[in-house]
Amino acid sequence: MLGFTRNDFPDDFLFGTATSSYQIEGHAFGGAGTTHWDTFAATPGNVVRGENGARACDHYHRFEEDFDLVAAAGFDAYRFSTSWARVLPEGRGAPNQEGLDFYDRLTDALLERGLKPCATLYHWELPAPLADLGGWRNRDIAGWFADYTEVIMGRIGDRMFSVAPINEPWCVGWLSHFLGQHAPGLRDIRATAHAMHHVLLAHGHAIETMRGLGMENLGGVFNMEWATPADDSAAAQNAAALYDGYYNHFFLSGVFKGTYPEIVMQGLEPHMPKGWQDDFAIIQAPLDWCGINYYTRKIIAPNDGLWPSHHEIGGPLPKTFMEWEIYPEGLYNFLTRTAAEYTGDLPLYVTENGMAAPDVLEHGTVADPHRIDYLNSHVAMVQKALADGVPLRGYFIWSLLDNYEWALGYDKRFGLVHVDFDTLDRTPKSSYHALTTALTRT
């Protein structure tokens, strides 16, 4: 049982679930162009079992059935992303009409079911021809992204409830260019500094483009991990502060304050693109809301290595199938801190929260009491933040379906709905049924 119902929340508080294009659609269908995730996954050693998003959940052909499930659970809103390479197979130039038609039908299918469409324009599948030109390392990406924004939002922007340009700038910048764990798999500090800045420049240009189309309710979606120092030493405190700096503060600070944190610039400044200081007028394009994706915390210890001179160590808390510690307090900390330090009265949303488990289908049902516990403990923090006056307007669960968990392939199951990746059958898990009870309006 869930320990809450929607009656415990303000009337206009939105409950939603979130997905992303490459993780569910089936990228092989409908004339989409090659992305850097296709080529990253085709390179040995990058993705578990070499899995990719070619078929995924075949949402491309089954979205109506999937949206029936979203509506039947009592959700108000659905967060999805549009694929750049499906809309513009070459990244620029001629659109793929089939792709535009798909997102048009998808939008109407949501509206027909009374679901609010909440779009993200980029959830990591960069068209390969743009990756060839340097991708996020190339400043021109801000213009390419604005052009893509114009094409896709020119078609569906009139019906969106909300839009955010880029999902999780940290993942686009640091995870993909410094840690090399996501496409394009680089491990280069100059590439990182350029990508981290250009991703915000592209964000700002896309916001301006959508304002030009007359659109409203535009925001940003930032992932955050709470950083806990490994011990009480000053060195451990500094190590955690630096992690907090490049992970959590960097992007919010750029967008809401027009500056980057000093502690991060100590390492990145020599590698920044020329003239970066002059871009904040665009990066700071005013937003209508801010979204926070939250899953876990990390425990950070200092070391003698090269900057950033720290590493993660294992923690004592119970862990999800991702080996991520379950630390609900971090969500509360981020909601209150973001409002206090960055966004003030601006509406906040939890745009992603959820957990992976090795869920199995037995006798036609999938029992996931662990997920119900996870949701209970995190929603309690949402309620605590609301009680403190944080202007929180909604909570989105990652994810509707078991899906392609990037470099970890298909066995990290995050869904409220189980997917059999052979038959593609959908089976709602017990967490889905519990949510239906909690969310259905009575």
> Of 38 and 352, which has the nearer Cβ to ligand GCO?
352
Beta bridge partners of 396: 16
**Pairing mode, strands 289-302 and 310-313:** antiparallel
Q: How far apart are the first and last CA of the chain?
A: 17
Which of 168, 225, 325, 405 is catalytic? The answer is: 168
Question: Nearest residue by C-beta to ligand GCO?
Answer: 168
Q: Could you tell me the smallest distance in angstroms from the CB atom of residue 123 to ligand GCO?
A: 6
Print the binding letters for residues 409-428 with ligand GCO: x by CB under 6 A, - otherwise. -----x--------------
Cα–Cα distance, 188 to 433 (Å, whole number): 45
Instruction: Select from 21, 149, 192, 293 the one that contacts ligand GCO (CB under 6 A).
Output: 293
Cα–Cα distance, 213 to 433 (Å, whole number): 40
Q: Which of residues 23-52 bind ligand GCO (CB under 6 A)?
A: 23
Q: Could you tell me the smallest distance in angstroms from the CB atom of residue 277 to ligand GCO?
A: 29
Kindly give the residue spans of alpha helices, DSSP state H, lying in 5-95: 21-24, 36-41, 59-72, 84-87
For residue 423, what are the CA distances in angstroms to 57, 239, 347, 419?
Answer: 10, 47, 41, 8
Upper half-sphere CA count for residue 112 (Cβ side, 13 Å): 11
| Phi-psi category of residue 402: left, alpha or beta, with phi > 0 → left and psi -120 to 50 → alpha | beta
Cα–Cα distance, 199 to 142 (Å, whole number): 8
Q: Is the CA virtual torsion 160, 210, 405, 371 positive or negative?
A: negative
Q: Which of residues 342-371 bind ligand GCO (CB under 6 A)?
A: 352
> Of 55 and 271, which has the nearer Cβ to ligand GCO?
55
Q: Could you tell me the smallest distance in angstroms from the CB atom of residue 328 to ligand GCO?
A: 16
User: Quick check: 353 and 397 in contact, CB under 8 A?
Assistant: yes
Instruction: Select from 398, 416, 417, 419 the one that contacts ligand GCO (CB under 6 A).
Output: 398
Instruction: Give yes or no for residue 96 binding ligand GCO (CB under 6 A).
Output: no
Q: Which of residues 142-201 bind ligand GCO (CB under 6 A)?
A: 167-168
Print the binding letters for residues 250-279 with ligand GCO: x by CB under 6 A, - otherwise. ------------------------------
> Of 20 and 83, which has the nearer Cβ to ligand GCO?
20
Q: Could you tell me the smallest distance in angstroms from the CB atom of residue 120 to ligand GCO?
A: 9
Cα–Cα distance, 225 to 175 (Å, whole number): 13
Which of 25, 125, 225, 352 is catalytic? The answer is: 352
Q: Which of residues 204-223 bind ligand GCO (CB under 6 A)?
A: 223
Q: Quick one: tokens of 328?
A: 């609900």
> Of 117 and 129, which has the nearer Cβ to ligand GCO?
117
Q: Which long-range contacts (CB under 8 A, 24 or more apart) does 268-271 make?
A: 268/189, 268/192, 268/193, 268/196, 271/189, 271/190, 271/192, 271/193, 271/194
Active site residue 125: no
> Of 58 and 208, which has the nearer Cβ to ligand GCO?
58
Q: Could you tell me the smallest distance in angstroms from the CB atom of residue 365 to ligand GCO?
A: 24
Active site residue 225: no
Distant-in-sequence, close-in-space partners of 101: CB < 8 Å, separation ≥ 6: none
> Of 359 and 405, which has the nearer Cβ to ligand GCO?
405
Cα–Cα distance, 353 to 227 (Å, whole number): 17
Q: Could you tell me the smallest distance in angstroms from the CB atom of residue 350 to ligand GCO?
A: 12
Instruction: Select from 125, 225, 402, 405 the one that contacts ligand GCO (CB under 6 A).
Output: 405
> Of 23 and 96, which has the nearer Cβ to ligand GCO?
23
Binding site for ligand GCO (CB under 6 A): 20, 23, 167-168, 223, 293, 352, 398, 405, 414
Q: Which residues are tagged catalytic?
A: 168, 352
